Structure 1
Amino acid sequence: MTNLKQAKFTVLPPEDVGNPNLFQQLLEQEKVPVPDRLQSNHPGFTDEDLSVERYSSRWFHELEAEKLWTKAWQMVCRVEDIQKPGDHVVYDIVNQSIIVMRGQDNVIRGFHNSCLHRGRALRMSGGAVNQLRCPYHGFTWDLQGEFKSMPTVWDFKHMSPCELKLPQVKVDTWAGFVFINPDLDAAPLNEHLDVLPEHFKDYSMDRSVSIAHVQRRMACNWKVAQEAFMESMHTRATHPQIMTFTGDVDSQYDMYGDNISRSVTPMAVTSSNLSDVSEALILHDILEESGRMADSDASKHVLPEGMTTREYIGELNRQIFSEASGDDLSQATLAELQDAILYSIFPNTQVWAGYFGNIVYRAIPDGDNHESCLFDVWLLGRYKEGEACPPGAKLNQLPDDLDFSKAPELGALGPVFDQDMSNLDAMTKGLKASKKGTVSLASYQESRIRHHHLTLDKYLGLDK
């Protein structure tokens, strides 16, 4: 067999490449009905620069703390993280802290994490409890936030028990994700999600479960981390090893309302940055390097004569994903079985669509530090209909100096994430050093970033 590591191909000049119509052309080759959700939906935007202060300034961070994080729906955790009464997580966002807990009645609620006596945080971390008891003086609430007891009742006659119910935030779920919104007057989550539930309706997301959850602190503003995954144009410079099977500059970009955007990057096709790439190399590299396919051992696969890698990988995924989930995937498109179809949910969550191999990203400010963020990665699998939801993956909190490639549960994705992260602290340095004072965006390929900032401006009152 030819040594694929020594395979020859041509790298084309970067100025001359890119076909944003490629995905729609691939859809014309599908042998099953193509759902309308895969059609292009791009509204077009203007091309004004963005001020670097959006990322680097303290005043912008404080404006977000006041007007964004107090008003927006935010993904906190997965339902499998809080399966039993008393299970809870603590969600800290800038100076807010929320306890998200499953009650004795099985309802998930969110409580402001502050004792109504002297203000001590009731919980410093997640876990499982049978009540909420302040460690300072012993004021106690049940799992539904109803007041239970206090010490020396005779000395608190001015505090009525009926007024001591823990203040709550809005809580709702979608696709196994738990969302909170501190604004009690906010529109329902389903309205915020816009087309997303409809676009994901065929993917059995109600039976999704986290099979990996890795978090690491990054030395950058949360939006810098978020935007690292909102375009595929960076692949040539940052991830050159995946160009043999990734249509990076051939991606499609779509927007829906204020809160939802999408990129669609074709897989199992060669980037238009390259030419003369053999199908054997495409097959080898997508199995070994992508981290999302049904199998990762290229030595077990030989491309049948007359079949493209895209067809082969799609059918391989169809078979293995169907067996794993118990779902009939005979009408699934090749696109939804393998392509990188990535949706953003404003402000800070991104979810890969498709029938399996869903990756989830989230970036939140690191406390009150506008130059640091916490970056989470989840990988989602499926369990079969009729089975109980298995426990979710335990959080792997990486030390600040440990690479994502050291998290074995991420597989081949770990080194790819490390390549992405290598840009982030340099972004912080460069934005602060900028003489230009602005960043410029590509009209089409970076339009999801533009869309994100337009919605952000509406929350912050900067759209006037």
Structure 2
Amino acid sequence: MTGTTSGERKRGHASAVSPLVCELHANDSRPLPLALRAAGTVDPLARPVAFAKYWDAAFAQRETEHVWKKTWQFACREEDIPAVGDRVNYDVGNLSFMIVRSAPDEIRAFYNACLHRGTRLCGGLGSGERVRCPFHGWEWNLDGSLHNIPSQWDFPQTEGSDYSLPEVKVGRWGGFVFVNADPEAAPLVEALGVLPEHFASWKPEERFTFVHVRKLVRANWKVTLEAFLEAYHVIETHTDALPFTGDASTQYDIWDDGKSHVSRLITPLGIPSPHLGDDASAQAAVDAVTQVFAMAMGPDAVVPRFDAAAGRGRAEVAEWRRQLMSKALGRDFSALTDAELVDTVQYFMFPNFCPWYGEGLPLSYQFLPYKDNPEESVMVIRLLLPLPGNGVPRPPSAPVIELGFDETFEGVPQLGLISHIFEQDMSNLPNIQLGLRAASDARAFATLGQYQECRISHFHETLDRYVDQ
């Protein structure tokens, strides 16, 4: 366990019309699930973070050896490879693994390289009863065992030898597939920590990938990750969201038992930012968040108006969403709390996985180094929607939309308003990377907030423990 459990620090800022999350939860119209009743157990210290960690090639190599080769990482969703023989690659830096559905309820993962001359075996979604190298046609069975070598007579050294594809560990939770290249790795459940318990009522396995985007970014993977671990940047980066986003009211929680490293933020919507003061309009906040949710339903959506004067605006927005979702999907959403339907709740599992909880913003994020350049990264975004009821078959997983360094989220209309938010975030990241390089030697370190950036502090404490092994 890292940090302290002291209750001394200030945990968010409120105003007369912008309560803290705990106050909103106390007035929710439904009993809170375990996840929203739980509080973090760790308060990390806000130590300086050296800028060199974001660009130094030697540090990136240590990350490869001690993080990417040693930790459980989300690689794909089960619905990405629904049929036996389906496969997809998971790339992290220069490492690459092939994830294969080898039997109806069995998934395996292998190093993504031919044992002949190293050719990459999988470069995207694929399928087939065997894995076949596109260079010389060496073949393996779906369990990784060698099936055939053309001109076997010319490779006597392989006879009687084990030429099965080298395998890595696979774990599954909530429809997510994880891999770990460390043969001595503990079971996945130890790394998941509180996630299975917290997500038990939300059931991520009963969702499907509606939108899937892979974006190249000119910034270190940690720069990109950290931009999404706090709501502190809303005041400057997302100014148009201030009228309906309780940015400084956000609650941050961290759990760390030495085996799992998990953190969370809960940012309330439907209230104005505390930065706007005690006279900010509660009605405008409710109107704006209603408009945001209506936009997700398409251009013909009817936008109702709820009265915030009695303090029930958020509850009425939540009830509206319960009824709309139940009707549209043929499922019962009556037990979901106001917070689960209105607020944004994002978890982070070390080293690079962010699953979101609730219907406010049902996303998942991955953050990855890109090839061997420590100043470039990949952000992978999925919008995960609930499976429809009434016996409707599971929809297929959406194909990946690839966005290059200079392509924008405006080309992904399926994301709706979220694409605008992502563009605002992306505008910062290359500038951050450039500034890290330009800093004075005397001030080449980050100065983090005690509370609003506590998840970044905890991330670096954890990263250093792995890298310094």
Q: Cα 1:298–1:106, aligned 2, differ >3 Å: closer, same or farther?
A: closer
The match for 2:460 among 450, 453, 457 is: 453
Counterparts of 1:65-144 in structure 2, within 5 Å, are 65-144=64-143
Partner of 2:267: 265
Deviates more, 1:398-407 or 1:15-24: 15-24
**Separation (CA, whole Å) in 2 of partners of 1:58 and 1:195:** 34
**Separation (CA, whole Å) in 2 of partners of 1:398 and 1:291:** 27
3-state SS, counterpart of residue 202 of structure 2: coil
Do residues 379 (structure 1) and 383 (structure 2) align?
Answer: yes
The match for 2:288 among 285, 289, 292 is: 285
**Separation (CA, whole Å) in 1 of partners of 2:18 and 2:189:** 30
Q: TM-score, normalised by structure 2?
A: 0.90
AA in 1 matched with 2:394: C
**Separation (CA, whole Å) in 2 of partners of 1:124 and 1:330:** 43
For the Cα contact (< 8 Å) 1:70–1:182, is it kept in 2? yes
**Partner deviation per Cα, 1:137-180 (whole Å, 9 max, x = no partner):** 22111122111111222232221355111111111221111111
Identical residues among aligned pairs (%): 36
Q: Cα 1:409–1:111, aligned 2, differ >3 Å: closer, same or farther?
A: same
For the Cα contact (< 8 Å) 2:252–2:264, is it kept in 1? yes
AA in 2 matched with 1:263: L
Partner of 1:5: none
For the Cα contact (< 8 Å) 2:29–2:315, is it kept in 1? no
For the Cα contact (< 8 Å) 1:287–1:298, is it kept in 2? no
AA in 1 matched with 2:363: I
Q: TM-score, normalised by structure 1?
A: 0.90
Partner of 2:7: none
Alignment RMSD: 2.5
**Separation (CA, whole Å) in 2 of partners of 1:195 and 1:15:** 27
Partner of 1:6: none
Deviates more, 1:74-83 or 1:18-27: 18-27
AA in 2 matched with 1:45: P
For the Cα contact (< 8 Å) 2:347–2:356, is it kept in 1? yes
Partner of 1:444: 451
**Separation (CA, whole Å) in 1 of partners of 2:17 and 2:42:** 18
3-state SS, counterpart of residue 264 of structure 2: strand
**Separation (CA, whole Å) in 1 of partners of 2:29 and 2:72:** 39
**Partner deviation per Cα, 1:415-434 (whole Å, 9 max, x = no partner):** 11100111100010000111
Give runs of ≥4 in structure 1 deviating > 6 Å: 14-21, 290-298
Counterparts of 1:110-259 in structure 2, within 5 Å, are 110-161=109-160, 163-257=162-256, 258-259=260-261
Please state how far the C-alpha of 1:59 moved relative to its aligned partner: 1.1
**Separation (CA, whole Å) in 2 of partners of 1:291 and 1:350:** 25
**Separation (CA, whole Å) in 2 of partners of 1:18 and 1:196:** 33
**Partner deviation per Cα, 1:310-345 (whole Å, 9 max, x = no partner):** 112111122223334544333322111111111001
Do residues 343 (structure 1) and 347 (structure 2) align?
Answer: yes
Q: Cα 1:340–1:79, aligned 2, differ >3 Å: closer, same or farther?
A: same
**Separation (CA, whole Å) in 1 of partners of 2:286 and 2:173:** 35
For the Cα contact (< 8 Å) 1:80–1:390, is it kept in 2? no
**Separation (CA, whole Å) in 1 of partners of 2:111 and 2:444:** 38
**Separation (CA, whole Å) in 2 of partners of 1:413 and 1:127:** 30
Q: Cα 1:81–1:18, aligned 2, differ >3 Å: closer, same or farther?
A: farther
Please state how far the C-alpha of 1:288 moved relative to its aligned partner: 3.4
Partner of 1:329: 333
**Separation (CA, whole Å) in 2 of partners of 1:296 and 1:259:** 41
For the Cα contact (< 8 Å) 1:242–1:290, is it kept in 2? no
**Separation (CA, whole Å) in 2 of partners of 1:387 and 1:146:** 37
3-state SS, counterpart of residue 127 of structure 1: coil
Please state how far the C-alpha of 1:50 moved relative to its aligned partner: 0.7
Please state how far the C-alpha of 1:114 moved relative to its aligned partner: 1.5
**Separation (CA, whole Å) in 2 of partners of 1:291 and 1:48:** 42
AA in 1 matched with 2:131: L
For the Cα contact (< 8 Å) 1:350–1:362, is it kept in 2? yes
Partner of 2:305: 302
Partner of 2:23: 25
